[in-house]
Every structure is written in C-alpha cells, then in structure tokens.
C-alpha cells in the first residue's frame, strides 16, 4: 500500500514519467504512419476525366484518406509532444500534492491531460484506419476488379481485426468497459467541455471551421455526384461533345 512516504520519496515523479512514456509509445508510431501515408495518398495517379466513374471515385477517396491520415497523425504527434513537455516541466497540483497514484488517476484529475491523451490516441487510431483503407484501394486499382474484390474483402477483415484489437486495449484502459465509439464520444465530450469551460478560443475556432467544412462537404458532394453522373461515367466524351465533333467533321467534308 502506498503511503505519504512513498509520495514524498519520488512517487509523483514516477507517475509523470509513466504518463510521459505512455504518450511516447504513441508519438513514435504516429510519426512513422504519417511518413507512410504521404506516398500512399499523394504519390499516385490523381482522378482524371478519362477514368471510369468507379475508378475516379476510388482515386478521389484514396486522396481524401491520405489527407486525413497525414493530418491526423501529425496532430497525434503534436498533441503527444505538448503533453510530454507538460509532464516533464512538472508543477501539476494533483501530482505535487500526492493525490494521484496511477496514470489513469492523473488523467482523471487533469482535464487538459485527459484531452491530450484521448486526442493522441484517437488521432493515431484514425490515421492507421485510413492507411489500411488506402492499401486496399491501391491494391484494387492495381490489379483490377476481378481480383480486387477479394482484396477489398480481405481489407474489411483486417479492419475488423484492427477494431477488435483497439477495443481490447480500450477495455484495459477503462477498467473493464469501452470501445472505439465510446472512446470517440468521450474525446468529443472532453474537447467541447474544455473548449467552452476553459475559454480556449482557438479550439472554438477549430470547432467552427470543422462544422463549416462538414457543411460545405455535404453541399458540394451532391453537386459533384450529379456532375459525374451527367458526364458519361465510362470515361467517354459526353454526348454534346460527340455531336459537336460530328458536326465539325460534316462541315469539313462539305468544303
């Protein structure tokens, strides 16, 4: 059993060191995933009007996933670095007063540190999720639909296995209950609560821009889908372009 002598003899330093190591365990893989996401997402053929509708959609999805993966992993690295710096600097009252004895208790007593941990983990998992999807899409585009469909099915199986592994890790953290969706909800709730409760204006700006981006995406998505459907989806020129070309040929032949 821990006593005040344990706390005064360096136990708080041990708790902060363990918390910093926890963030470090995620920061290094997040940096590696960010580097791997760049070629998968951007060193690849971009959507073209000559592509079939399905191929064009998959290329666009691959590009979007690459963007999300890189940004998510970079956020994970930055947030983890901030948390490690804060833990190393010391001065947190709940630690210096000896009111915490474990890392999870430290997170519960410090809402900012809890947000750092949830953000680090959520962004890391989200980036890995995107990179798995990108691998499946790239494989389908490389080998075609005949063997690509089994590959996409295998990708779905890997994602299910990935989510199951993450859920087991979350259960360990949450003392017997929890999953990806509950962890995401807890992060959103903590982020919004800290934003308004602690008057974090740039976090508030981030929420506003995120809402604006989501709104614009939904509005523009319908327009893009309609335009892709109006243009011939098999990659051929449109009927209007065909008619104009035939008229030009007719005029030239009559001269």
pLDDT for the residue 97? 55
Contact 140, 152 (CB under 8 A): yes
Burial class from Cβ neighbours inside 10 Å (0-12, 13-18, 19+) for residue 116 reads: buried
The answer on pLDDT for 86 being more than 60 is: yes
Domains contained in the chain, number: 2
Q: What is the pTM of this model?
A: 0.75
105 and 128 together in one domain? yes
pLDDT for the residue 173? 58
28 and 96 together in one domain? yes
Mapping DSSP onto H, E and C, the string for 43-69 reads CCCCCCCCCCHHHHHHHHHHHHHHHHH
47 and 120 together in one domain? yes
- State the residue for tokens 């903590």: 190
pLDDT for the residue 177? 65
> Mean pLDDT, to the nearest integer, of 145-173?
83
Contact 118, 186 (CB under 8 A): yes
The answer on pLDDT for 80 being more than 90 is: yes
Render pLDDT for 190-214 as a digit per residue (tens, 0 to 9): 899 999 988 889 989 998 998 998 8
Render pLDDT for 116-148 as a digit per residue (tens, 0 to 9): 999 999 999 999 999 999 888 888 888 887 788
Contact 227, 55 (CB under 8 A): no
Whichever domain contains 36, its CATH number is 1.20.140
pLDDT > 90: percent of the chain: 21
> Mean pLDDT, to the nearest integer, of 163-169?
86
124 and 19 together in one domain? yes
228 and 119 together in one domain? no
> What single-letter DSSP state applies at residue 94?
H
106 and 181 together in one domain? yes
């Amino acid at each position: 059993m821990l006593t005040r002598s344990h706390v005064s003899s360096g136990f708080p330093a041990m708790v902060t060191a363990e918390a910093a190591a926890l963030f470090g365990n995620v920061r290094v893989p997040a940096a590696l995933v960010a580097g791997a996401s760049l070629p998968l997402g951007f060193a690849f053929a971009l959507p073209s009007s000559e592509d079939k509708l399905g191929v064009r959609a998959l290329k666009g999805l691959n590009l979007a996933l690459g963007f999300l993966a890189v940004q998510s992993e970079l956020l994970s690295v930055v947030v983890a670095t901030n948390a490690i710096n804060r833990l190393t600097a010391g001065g947190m009252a709940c630690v210096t007063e000896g009111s915490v004895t474990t890392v999870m208790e430290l997170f519960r007593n410090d809402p900012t540190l809890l947000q750092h941990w949830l953000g680090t983990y959520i962004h890391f998992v989200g980036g890995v999720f995107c990179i798995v999807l990108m691998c499946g899409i790239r494989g389908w585009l490389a080998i075609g639909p005949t063997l690509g469909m089994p590959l996409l099915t295998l990708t779905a199986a890997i994602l299910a296995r990935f989510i199951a592994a993450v859920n087991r890790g979350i259960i360990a953290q949450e003392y017997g209950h929890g999953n990806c969706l509950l962890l995401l909800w807890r992060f959103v709730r903590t982020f919004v609560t800290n934003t308004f409760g602690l008057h974090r204006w740039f976090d508030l700006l981030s929420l506003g821009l995120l809402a604006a981006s989501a709104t614009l995406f939904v509005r523009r998505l319908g327009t893009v889908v309609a335009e892709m459907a109006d243009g011939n989806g098999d990659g051929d020129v449109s009927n209007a372009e065909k008619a104009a070309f035939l008229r030009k040929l007719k005029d030239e032949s009559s001269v």
